[in-house]
Structure 1
Amino acid sequence: MILYHGTNIDFECIDLSKSFPFKDFGQGFYLTEIRSQAEKMAKRKHETLGGGLIVQEYDFEENNLHNKDLKTLIFKGTTPEWAKFVFNNRSREIDFQHDYDIIVGPIADDGVAFLINQYSSGAITLPQFTRMLKFRKLSNQYFFGTERSISLLKRIK
């Protein structure tokens, strides 16, 4: 499968230490199956940080998602487990760590970020939060959080 990464600076080697923390699935390298989504991310980074508009393409063997030597987590939609996992990773008030190599699941966009804030402030419950998410059309993201998982990505362009 082809995965895309939108960025503002082109690079050859993926350096996980340069990834931002407090993202949906934690600090790691994020990709998508949708080129236009990667283009939007590149534009967002360009507008906030400068640099260029770059979409990198990677080949990834999908059967690695079921590799017993890797710790993978696949969320099938906006489940309560996904919502709690995203909340824990985005929270700056709790020390949440995980050791997954690869995670696949929906992207928490700006509207979801608002709902996360509502949930964290106690304005809505987890069941309400999850129910509200079911109405959102969210595409998947691919998180690569270890050197072992990064080694499975082959840069195309």
Structure 2
Amino acid sequence: MRLYHASTVIVEHPDTTHSRDYLDFGRGFYLTSLHEQAIKYAERFLRRQKDAWLNIYELKDDLKEWNILHFNQYDKSWLDFVAACRSGEPTKEYDMIVGGIANDRVILTLDLYFSGEINQEEALKRLIFEKPNIQYCIRSDKMLQQCLTYIESKKL
């Protein structure tokens, strides 16, 4: 499967070390299978007068031996997991997590929920109408080395 990672630099050897804390799925190397989503993300760098690179990878097909968590929609499980990761709470160890990204519209709902302005029920009502933009968070350096192959980088 072809995956994309937008950055200000070429990333031939991805790792989890350079990840920020408190992201949607915790520390890890984030990718998407949606080319348009990766381009849109990279355009943020261009607006800030920075270089923008689209790094392209191939993810191995057979991932049966890895511990992977899938979220197919913005539901209570997804919301609870993202809330835990964004607040720095420990979560179960996974090699990779696949699920919806907290894009601009989704993040507004999350901010209201995290601040206590809306409850979980209201947050879930709002999220049900959002179609997830899929992200892949590889949290294991071992999985990065064994399952993700660098293809090329394109400067935007």
Same fold (TM over 0.5): yes
User: Do structure 1's residue 83 and structure 2's residue 79 form an aligned pair?
Assistant: yes
User: When you count helix as a share of all residues, which structure comes out higher?
Assistant: 1
The one-letter amino acid paired with 1:102 is M
Structure 1 position 47, deviation (Å): 3.8
Aligned amino acid, residue 122 of structure 2 = Q
Deviation at 1:36, TM superposition (A): 1.5
| Equivalent AA in structure 2 for residue 79 of structure 1 | D
TM-score normalized by the length of structure 2? 0.88
Find out whether 1:16 has 2:4 as its counterpart: no
TM-score if structure 1 supplies the norm length? 0.88
**Aligned Cα root-mean-square deviation (Å):** 1.6
Distance (whole Å) between structure 1 residues aligned to residue 16 and residue 47 of structure 2: 22
Identity %: 32
Aligned 8 A contact 1:9 1:51 in 2: no
Give the count of matched residue pairs: 151
1:28-43 alignment runs, 5 A limit: 28-43=28-43
Is the contact made by 2:15 and 2:144 (CA closer than 8 Å) also made in structure 1?
Answer: no
| Aligned-partner Cα distance in 2 for 1:150–1:24 | 19
Structure 1 stretches of 4+ moved >6 Å: none
Give the aligned residue type for 2:7: T
What does the per-residue CA deviation read over 1:12-61, in whole Å, with 9 as the maximum and x for residues that have no partner?
2113111111111011111111112111222223444x541110111112
Larger strand fraction of residues: 2
Is the CA contact 1:39–1:53 (under 8 Å) kept in the aligned structure 2? no
- Structure with higher RCO (Cα < 8 A, 6+ apart): 2
Q: Answer whether contact 1:6 1:56 (CA < 8 A) is retained.
A: yes
- Structure 2 counterpart of 1:55: 54
Is there any run of 5+ residues in structure 2 with no aligned partner, and where?
none
